[in-house]
Amino acid sequence: MFILAALLAASQLRAEYVVLRSGQRLVVTGYQLVGDKYRLQMAGGAVEIPAEDVVTIEPEEVFTPVPAQPAVKPPYRELVEAAAARYKVDANLITSVIAAESNFDPKAVSPKNARGLMQLLPETADMLGVLDIYDPKENIDAGTRYLRDLLQKYNGDLVLALAAYNAGPDKVQKYGRVPPIPETISYVRRVKKNYEKSKKTAAAKTITPAATPAKSPSPLSTSAVR
């Protein structure tokens, strides 16, 4: 079967997985939705399959490893906390988005040409006044501001904000919900899962016997949604 042959030929590539309803996982170097079919680019060439046969598209997420840090804090934590304070967005949410977008690789470039830690498209970066899209400080600041704007746009609805961050506000507006795009559905689930986990970890570290339990931080504080 051609798909299986192409899968074997592409098995050494670092790209993305296309999961089919049959249970097959195809490794692709690129894909495009054309009508009701996906055109998959593989090591052995291109193949088209019905969109209804695709369950999800998952990034292989193999990036240049970040050197081990002696500190407990995640990479770029100081920049994240600065942006979090500036735009009133939870730092754990920003970190979760960065983890899903680039795995903390400041030079990451996606097949769709999104770039940097928070995977900004060049046109979005221009709109936000970014001069160097690969600069961690600029990228995190602009990405957080964009995320803040989306949270405001959707009245604090984290799911819709994340969907818009991944697929674009136009797609969310078109469907009135999370777009039925496998990549976007998977993205929202991964970010939310990591965000909830990080919030629980942070809460466990801050609780002390004499302290009053703190309220779990919201993605966007009310002071930023006036």
Contact in structure between 143 and 120 (CB atoms under 8 Å) = yes
Distances (CA, A) of 58 to 1, 19, 25, 113, 184: 23, 8, 10, 17, 10
Which pLDDT band, with edges at 50, 70 and 90, does 176 fall under? Answer: very high
Mean pLDDT value of segment 141-167? 97
- Is-catalytic flag, 101? yes
Round to whole Å and give the CA distance between 7 and 31. Answer: 14
Q: Tell whether 140 is covered by a domain.
A: yes
pLDDT for 21-77, tens place per residue? 887 878 888 888 888 888 888 777 888 889 888 888 877 654 455 555 554 578 999
Query: What are 152's two structure tokens?
Result: 């405001």
Residues 55 and 81 in one domain: no
Contact 154, 160 (CB under 8 A): yes
Which amino acid belongs to residue 122?
A: P
Find the catalytic residue in 16, 101, 138, 183: 101
Q: What is the pTM of this model?
A: 0.61
Do 166 and 99 share a domain, yes or no? yes
| Per-residue model confidence as pLDDT tens digits over 203-223 | 777 655 544 455 555 676 433
**Domain around 159:** 77-205
Residue 197 domain flag: yes
**Rounded Cα distance, 9 and 161, in Å:** 38
Asked if the structure places residue 223 within a domain, the reply is no
Q: Is residue 7 part of a domain?
A: yes
Which token pair is 219? 């993605």
Tell me: the pLDDT tens digits for 72-115? 578 999 999 999 999 999 999 999 999 999 999 999 999 999 99
Same domain? For 37 and 116 the reply is: no
Domain tally for the chain?
2
CATH at residue 193: 1.10.530.10
